[in-house]
Structure 1
Amino acid sequence: MSQQQAPILWLNVLIFSITGLIALFLVPYHALTQGFDSVEIIATILCLGYCGMSITVGYHRLWAHKTYQAHPIIKFVLALGGAFALQNSILHWASDHRNHHRFVDNNDKDPYSAKRGFWFSHIGWMLREYQGQSYRNYANCKDLQKDKIVMWQHKNYLWLTLSLNFGIPILLGWLNDDIYGMLLSAGVLRLVLSHHFTFFINSLAHIWGKQTFSEEHTARDNPVLAFLTYGEGYHNFHHTFEYDYRNGIRWYDFDPSKWFIKTASLCGLTWGLREAPEERIEAAKAKYKMEKIRAKLIKLPHKAEMLAKVEAEYDLLTKRMNAFYKTRKRYLDIKRKKITRTVEHSELFNQIKDLQAEMHDLKQRFLIQKKTFNNLALAYS
């Protein structure tokens, strides 16, 4: 359905307009004239975190991408938080998001294609009925329709959103003896910030940042957005390896959603955490760099000699990378073997010892070659 013909979704327009205007004018006015006390500020931050994490940990990584499995208690808490965040039901949200990944950057099929501009991908796609009836049967979410908690939330979404978005701030305000102030802060301001922080992933995360793993989509990695979105800002990685429960793969990447899922797994509340193999991640990074170098060198005179040099280094990198990861797999497979007899124990011990030495040598060669290739890529970029 074209942008001109799509009917306006007046309920969405009213919700975004009214809450936005209250956050823009009434909240600052109340802050200047009455002030918000520490309880209201803390409550707003905690409610904002609960909404945000329910979307990232629940709607996104658990239900839309099935990157891990969770205990019903975790799923129930996340389903409530998703209704509190007022971003549609799990089923509807996941259906839109799966289509976004399947048809990313396709202006006709990607529900919030970044190639249609910042406004459209950020909020415009929700102001008109661009999708028509194409997603109403949720054909791409047959698995979620078997999830009792997902369907319970979907069928009861309206009363859940109303009771949570009014009930929680009113209860907190009653406990703090200031219902109006809490409605403004933990109610409206929290909702508006939660909305737009999430919307940044559809808009800014496809415009602002670096492409590290792939240029086949507009998604970008941005640590600033990761801070605002509980780890979702490493978007180029996510679109390249969408089945990984992590977005920030390095230990120092700010990804509280990853930390929550991992911590919950240690308590037995989540399991089956899926990760992209390290060798695939390294291969994707090297391939992307090679493609960037090739695209630049192809435009230069005397390109043949330079291209030959770079491609030779890339081939060597690939060989050493594969050799290291292949040896490491053998090493880990042998370590996992059950030892039943002393003779076998001795043989396995010797194999492990030999493989450790071989693996160490291959890793050093791989890292040296990786540095050589990266320096070459930097010189030609």
Structure 2
Amino acid sequence: MSKPKIIWLNVTVFLVTFLIAAIAVPYRAITHGFEAAEIIMAIACFCYCGMSITAGYHRLWSHKTYEAHAIVRFIYAIGGAFALQNSALHWSSDHRIHHKHVDNNDVDPYSAKRGFWYSHIGWMLREYQAHRYNDYDNVRDLKRDPIVMWQHKHYLTLVLLTNIGIPLVFGLWYGDVLSSLLLIGFLRLVLSHHTTFFINSLAHIWGKQTYTDKNTARDNGVLALFTFGEGYHNFHHLFENDYRNGIRWWQFDPTKWMIKLFSYVGLADKLRKSPEDKIEKAKLAMALKTTQQRLTSHPQAEEMLKKLEHEYEVLLAKINEFYALKKQILLNKKQQLVCEVENSELMKQFFELKANLAEQRKNWQLLTTKFA
């Protein structure tokens, strides 16, 4: 069977930019050196491109996890062109198909089950799914966004203005055009590309399946450091409508923090979060499954499995009871019964349940660790 036609433009762009970044940039660093201002500007542009993809292309346009002011959307559109990862319309269309058909080699544009190379970059080097390149039926909502359509229409112009114009203007201002083109142009672009591509490849083979094993996505805190929080990919694939990827305060997710900051100053609203109880139950069910699998070959497997399943049922019951009560308290507060609620038996019951649940979580953690 013949392979799909090679997309020579993509091959040329990826190859040439990578060779210049890998050879010319180190050579220039050794023979001439780079100034601190040039390095800082390159890092700033890298962050701008990355956050435009994660907060804009991904969490705003692909998943509609929040709504953003037109100014913010415009900034994302420019940054997305600077990142050179196709228009927001096309990127979002690909990504929605990926989520809907994840790991399906025949439909998923960058299925991880076709191997690291394919999911990382190979899928863009040949016309694997040419029949749908101009089919945007799954992003009809984005067609109503004038900024998305403006960027899509003028994408090539914006790419040239940002990828050549920004490094050139900075180089002319600072007095070193060549260094600026190499650092802010080529090296920044290659880093922007491959850190994003790692989410399609590495984040599907390296890390933990914390919440589900129904797809190949993994949670990886190391990848989160280089991808502005996108490394918590197992969570994302199960709770794709959540504006957060790292849901704990200590998890590195600057995209989440920026979106939250925008909401404080009126530049973003309607931030969507997955219910806490659903997140906890998914994590609990996955922990039960992995522990059960580890115990199958143990000499006392039957006894241990019974104890494990009993603790699971007890903890699940307490979680249901706790969150049901919590919802009732929130409802009462919304009905402006704050004073009455705080002094009611409901609050006493809530704090008792909270303490009991914490103790039960601790017991569960000790049990699953013991059986590890």
TM-score of the pair, normalised by structure 2: 0.97
Q: Distance in 2 between matches of 1:20 and 1:352?
A: 65
Q: Which amino acid aligns with 2:352?
A: D
Residue 220 (structure 2) aligns with: 222
Offset from partner CA, 1:1-38 (integer Å, 9 cap, x none): x7x42110000000001000000111111111111111
- Tell me the distance in 2 between the aligned counterparts of 1:254 and 1:365: 30
AA partner of residue 198 (structure 1): T
Instruction: Give 1:88's aligned residue.
Output: 86
Residue in structure 2 matched with residue 103 of structure 1 by the alignment? 101
Partner Cα distance (1:143, 1:262) in 2 = 23
**CA offset at residue 302 of structure 1?**
5.2
Deviations 1:62-113 (A, max 9, x none): 0000000000000000000000000000011001111111111111111111
Identity %: 55
Where does residue 45 of structure 1 map in the other structure? 43
Hey, what does 2:192 align to over in structure 1? 194
Aligned counterparts of 1:182 and 1:135: Cα–Cα separation in 2: 34
Secondary structure, aligned partner of 1:106: coil
Letter paired with 1:249: I
Contact residue 341 and residue 347 of structure 2 kept, 8 A: no
Q: Is the 8 A contact 1:331 1:352 kept in 2?
A: no
Q: Alignment partner of 1:250: what SS?
A: coil
Q: Decide whether the 8 Å contact of 1:95 with 1:135 is kept in 2.
A: no
Question: Structure 1 pair 350/141, CA: closer, same or farther in 2 (3 Å)?
Answer: closer
Q: 1:351 Cα deviation (Å)? A: 6.9
After TM superposition, give the deviation of residue 364 of structure 1 in Å.
Answer: 1.2
* Counterpart residue identity of residue 145, structure 1: K
What's the counterpart of residue 346 of structure 2?
355
| Aligned CA distance change for structure 1 residues 351 and 159 (closer, same or farther; 3 Å) | closer
1:167-178 paired onto structure 2 within 5 Å: 167-178=165-176
Q: Name the CA distance, whole Å, in 1 between partners of 2:83 and 2:134.
A: 21
1:350–1:286 CA distance, 2 compared to 1 (3 A): closer
Pairing of 1:286-301 with structure 2 (within 5 A): 286-300=284-298
> What letter is aligned with 1:107?
N
From 198, 209, 212, the equivalent of 1:211 is: 209
Structure 1-normalised TM-score? 0.95
Distance 1:98 1:350, change over 3 A: closer
Q: Amino acid of the residue matched to residue 173 of structure 2?
A: L
Counterpart residue type for residue 380 of structure 1: F
Give the distance between the partners of 2:193 and 2:342, measured in 1 at CA. 55
CA distance in 2 between counterparts of 1:352 and 1:157 reads: 59
> What is the SS of the residue equivalent to 1:133?
helix
Residue pair 2:230, 2:253 contacting (<8 A) in 1 also = yes
Q: Does 1:305 align with 2:303?
A: yes
The answer to whether the Cα contact below 8 Å between 2:195 and 2:226 also exists between their aligned partners in 1 is yes
1:27 aligns to 2:18 (yes or no): no
Give the Cα separation in 1 of the matches to 2:261 and 2:26: 38
Rounded Cα–Cα distance in structure 1 between residues aligned with 2:318 and 2:341? 24
Answering whether residue 247 of structure 2 is matched by residue 256 of structure 1, we say no
Give yes or no for contact 2:101–2:107 (8 Å, CA) kept in 1.
yes
1:133-282 superposed matches below 5 A: 133-282=131-280
Task: Return the offset for 1:271.
Answer: 0.2
Aligned-pair CA distance for 1:374: 1.9
Question: Separation in 1 of the partners of 2:178 and 2:101?
Answer: 44
Distance 2:222 2:3 in 1: 37
For 2:286 and 2:160, the matched residues in 1 are separated by: 47
CA contact (8 A) 1:335 1:352 kept: no
Unaligned runs of 5+ in 2: none
In structure 2, distance between residues paired with 1:209 and 1:308: 29
How many Å apart are 1:299 and its aligned residue?
Answer: 4.5
Deviation, 1:51, is 0.3
* 2:365 counterpart of 1:374: yes
How many residues align? The count is 372
- 1:342 paired residue number: none
CA distance in 2, matches of 1:14, 1:104: 28
Once residues 343 and 96 of structure 2 are traced to their aligned partners in structure 1, the CA distance between those partners, rounded to angstroms, is 43
Aligned amino acid, residue 227 of structure 2: T
Letter paired with 1:357:
K
Q: Is the 8 A contact 1:144 1:150 kept in 2?
A: yes
Q: CA deviation at 1:295?
A: 2.6
| Contact 2:332-2:341 at 8 Å conserved across structures | no
Which amino acid letter does the alignment assign opposite residue 213 of structure 1? Y
* Distance of 2:20 and 2:257 partners within structure 1: 34
1:58 to 2:56 alignment: yes
Q: Give the superposition deviation at 1:293.
A: 2.2
Q: Give the whole-Å Cα distance in 2 for the aligned partners of 1:215 and 1:9.
A: 34
Aligned residue type for 1:134: R
Read off the aligned partner of 1:353 and give its amino acid letter.
S
Cα separation, 1, equivalents of 2:137 and 2:168: 38
CA deviation digits over 1:125-161, x for unaligned, max 9? Answer: 1111111212421111111111111111111101110
